């Protein structure tokens, strides 16, 4: 099973599902092109426990019951 390992030394947990952070930025009120809203939405993934964005994929072996 694929999981993630948090690289924050204070957290250092195994994560099975990452949290998603959305950040919306709005530029100046001037439109560059007709019909352009100008909004930019940036999405990042993070550790749900410590909100660190540093993690690496790891393989977790689950024993069948």
Domains: count for the chain: 1
Rounded to the nearest 5°, which phi and psi values hold at 24? -110, 130
Is position 65 within any domain?
Answer: no
pTM equals 0.61
Is position 9 within any domain?
Answer: yes
The SS3 of residue 14 is strand
Domain membership of residue 53 as a residue range = 2-28+37-59
21: β partners: 44
Contact call for residues 54 and 1 (beta carbons, < 8 A): no
| pLDDT tens, residue by residue, 22-63 | 887 776 666 566 666 667 778 889 999 998 999 999 988 877
28: how many CB neighbours lie within 10 A of its CB?
A: 7
Is position 18 within any domain?
Answer: yes
- Residue 17 DSSP one-character state: S
């Amino acid at each position: 099973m694929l999981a993630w390992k948090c690289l924050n030394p204070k957290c250092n947990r195994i994560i099975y599902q990452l949290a998603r952070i959305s950040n919306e930025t709005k530029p100046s009120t001037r439109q560059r092109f007709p019909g352009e809203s100008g909004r930019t939405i940036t999405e990042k993934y993070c550790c749900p426990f410590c909100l660190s964005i540093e993690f690496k994929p790891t393989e977790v072996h689950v024993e069948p019951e």
